[in-house]
């Protein structure tokens, strides 16, 4: 029984990780000066980093949950105290919808950087 449960858990995590590969890449939005870079690994999305090319500022997000077609992070900007939770969902292959909650309560669409 224990082996069956482990096998089911492994299959679910493998499916989730494979599904999250589609998030890989650089993403931009008309509403921000930051480029958001998403990297996935063996177990799904492993890092989300925001980079402002004009100022050189880097802000990392902390991943708090992963599901097959979405994941959620926490972002805190130490320089101004800005704090949000961001839920990333794939709308199309090259379009993300990001739901911000906290200091900003809004949905923002991001497009893959190489398609902008």
Q: Where are the domains of the chain?
A: 2-115
**pTM of the full predicted structure?**
0.81
Q: Are strands 82-92 and 25-28 parallel, antiparallel or unpaired?
A: unpaired
What CATH number was assigned to the domain covering residues 2-115? 2.40.128.210
Among candidate residues 67, 104, 59, 106, the one with its CA nearest the CA of residue 89: 67
Q: What is the pLDDT of residues 22-40, one digit of tens each?
A: 999 999 999 999 999 999 9
Q: What is the pLDDT of residues 49-82, one digit of tens each?
A: 999 999 999 999 999 999 988 999 999 999 999 9
């Amino acid at each position: 029984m224990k082996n069956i449960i482990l096998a089911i858990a492994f299959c679910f995590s493998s499916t989730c990780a494979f599904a999250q590969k589609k998030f890989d890449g650089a993403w931009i939005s008309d509403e921000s000066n930051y480029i958001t870079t998403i990297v996935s690994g063996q177990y799904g999305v492993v890092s989300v980093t925001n980079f402002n090319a004009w100022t050189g500022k880097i802000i990392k997000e902390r991943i708090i949950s992963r599901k097959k077609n979405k994941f959620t992070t926490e972002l805190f900007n130490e320089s101004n105290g800005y704090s949000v939770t961001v839920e990333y969902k794939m709308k199309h292959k090259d379009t993300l919808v990001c739901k911000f909650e906290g200091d900003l309560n809004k949905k923002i669409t991001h497009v893959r950087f190489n398609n902008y």
